[in-house]
């Protein structure tokens, strides 16, 4: 069955998914029976297009990459322009909304409203925006359930590295006693550069911004807020604990000086910004984000640069560690493809 998609936002991540759908069209059809068609794009800055019979992916990418806008996309019979995000979600014939809008990390808006409108209109949502999942997981999950639609957000933690599906599918039957991870690439990059090349904090941060993985406002990275959102998502979705953002203590890396880094090295240790969730006695859960001096023998000590890693401590199989990309155009675009393929193949589950 052809899976019709409406993109809300068409920035780096949305274009990453569109490139994958263009380049892997035949492979996805032959190997997974998965066929997708983009019927709409609504981007507050680049403009909007809707055609119920589908838009040409190659032309969309060429137009936006050459002109920075969708205005020059050729007009044809039945093509509508200028539909805003809400109209596109409500009135287009899409099966699934690809929610990759520019969203305020503190309020989760407008992405939370986009999810609400999509679910109540009977449409699935796949997204990489962390805010709505961290701030409204319980509410949005219930809403998706009520309307019998599906919600995927694999890319909210470690982009296309399957941080959410691996424990849910491959580690099924275990109870997670603890999750520890390096969940923010910007801060890991800064700490690695400060240690290995002895560059200043400011220089390392500028490099991370130039490489494109720092948030629009890097305060969210360096103060640990980005990692804290990811902790909340993991607690709710993987450990089934309805943790809220304010339940997670949070400290970033701004107090880590070159002197502290040298001292740790002399002790055979290394500073890492660790995110953790631990299930204690009587089910009490403690979650935090904080810089820690980890022993070089620790599986997380060797994770360098912008790479992320996560260790799941399971009651049956012991500790399983997963490392991989935590950001990137194609990597994060791919996380949306994982959600889409699962949605297309599973008509029963609500939260993918």
With CB under 6 A as the contact rule, the residue among 7, 137, 213, 312 that binds ligand HSE is: 213
Q: Interface with ligand HSE by CB under 6 A: which range of 78-86, 117-125, 182-190, 266-274? A: 182-190
- Rounded to a whole number of angstroms, the minimum distance from the CB of residue 158 to ligand HSE is 8
Q: Please give the structure tokens belonging to residue 238.
A: 């993987």
Question: Does 154 help bind ligand HSE (rule: CB under 6 A)?
Answer: no
Please tell me whether residue 226 binds ligand HSE under the rule CB under 6 A. Answer: yes
Taking CB under 6 A as the rule, does residue 48 contact ligand HSE? no
58 to 117, contacts with ligand HSE by CB under 6 A? none
327 touches ligand HSE (CB under 6 A)? yes
Pick between residue 49 and residue 325 the one whose CB is nearest to ligand HSE: 325
Give the active site residue among 130, 193, 230, 269. Answer: 230
For residue 190, the minimal CB distance to ligand HSE (Å) is 10
- Say if residues 327 and 306 touch (Cβ distance below 8 Å): yes
Element (H, E) at 294: strand 285-295
Distance of closest approach, residue 335 Cβ to ligand HSE, in angstroms: 10
Whether the CB-CB separation of 314 and 168 falls below 8 Å is answered with: no
Asked whether position 231 contacts ligand HSE by CB under 6 A, the answer is: no
Helix extents (H) in the chain: 12-23, 25-32, 57-67, 85-91, 111-120, 130-146, 165, 185-196, 201-211, 219-222, 225-237, 258-266, 329-345
Written as six digits, the tokens of 50 are: 């809707």
SS3 letters across 238-293: CCCCCCCHHHCEECCCCCCCHHHHHHHHHCCEEEEEEEEEEECHHHCEEEEEEEEE
Q: Which residues bind ligand HSE (CB under 6 A)?
A: 184-186, 213-215, 221, 226, 326-327
The catalytic residue positions are 230
């Amino acid at each position: 069955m052809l899976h019709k998609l409406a993109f809300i936002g068409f920035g780096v991540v949305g274009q990453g998914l569109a490139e994958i759908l263009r380049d892997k069209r035949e492979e996805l059809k032959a190997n997974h029976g998965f066929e997708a068609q983009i019927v709409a794009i609504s981007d507050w800055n680049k403009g909007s297009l809707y055609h119920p019979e589908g838009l040409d992916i190659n032309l969309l990418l060429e137009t936006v990459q050459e002109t920075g806008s969708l205005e020059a996309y050729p007009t044809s019979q039945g093509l509508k322009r200028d539909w805003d995000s809400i109209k596109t979600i409500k009135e287009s014939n899409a099966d699934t909304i690809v929610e990759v809008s520019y969203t305020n990390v503190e309020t989760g808006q407008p992405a939370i409203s986009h999810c609400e409108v999509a679910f109540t209109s009977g449409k699935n949502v796949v997204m990489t925006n962390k805010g709505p999942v961290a701030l409204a997981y319980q509410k949005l999950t219930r809403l998706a359930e009520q309307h019998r639609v599906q919600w995927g957000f694999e890319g909210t933690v470690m982009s296309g590295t399957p941080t959410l599906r691996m424990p849910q599918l491959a580690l099924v039957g275990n109870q997670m006693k603890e999750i520890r991870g390096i969940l923010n690439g910007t801060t890991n990059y800064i700490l690695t550069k400060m240690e290995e090349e002895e560059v200043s904090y400011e220089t390392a941060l500028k490099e991370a911004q130039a490489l494109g993985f720092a948030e629009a406002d890097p305060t969210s990275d360096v103060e640990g807020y980005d990692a804290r959102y990811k902790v909340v998502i993991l607690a709710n979705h993987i450990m089934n604990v309805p943790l809220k953002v304010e339940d997670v203590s949070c400290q970033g890396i701004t107090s880590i000086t070159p002197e502290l880094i040298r001292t740790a090295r002399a002790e055979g240790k290394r500073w890492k910004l660790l995110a953790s969730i631990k299930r204690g006695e009587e089910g009490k859960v403690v979650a935090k984000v904080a810089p820690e001096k980890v022993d070089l023998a620790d599986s997380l000590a060797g994770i360098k640069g912008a790479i992320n890693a996560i260790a799941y401590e399971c009651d049956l199989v012991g500790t399983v560690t997963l490392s991989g990309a935590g950001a990137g155009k194609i990597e994060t675009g791919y996380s949306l493809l994982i959600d889409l393929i699962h949605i297309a193949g599973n008509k029963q589950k609500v939260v993918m």
